[in-house]
Amino acid sequence: MDAIIFTGGMANSDYLVGLIKERVAFITGKMFVYPGEHERESLALGALRVLRGEEEPRQYK
């Protein structure tokens, strides 16, 4: 493993990220935190691409 990356809303919590880092530090020393909450925007833009016919919908099992 090259690195662990924390993203999304959980990355805004220094407490949570700190707890996780303590428990997984032995896996790799490289950890990056990119806070943000763009998940809903990304989902909406993906749905819009499907509705416009720019992309085929995917089904996950």
Geometric angle at alpha carbon 24, from 39 and 42, rounded to 5°: 10
β-bridge partners, 6: 33
In the chain, where are the structural domains located? 4-51
Give, as one character, the DSSP assignment of residue 39: H
**pLDDT given for residue 20 in this prediction:** 94
pLDDT score for 31: 93
Q: Which residue has the tokens 């943000």?
A: 36
For the cut 90, the answer to whether the pLDDT of residue 54 exceeds it is: yes
Q: Tell me the pTM.
A: 0.56
Q: In angstroms, how far is CA 21 from the centroid of its own chain? A: 16
Predicted confidence (pLDDT) per residue in 7-51, tens digit: 888 899 999 999 999 999 999 889 999 887 777 888 899 999 999
- Closest-CA residue to 5 (of 22, 26, 30, 25): 30
Specify the amino acid at residue 3: A
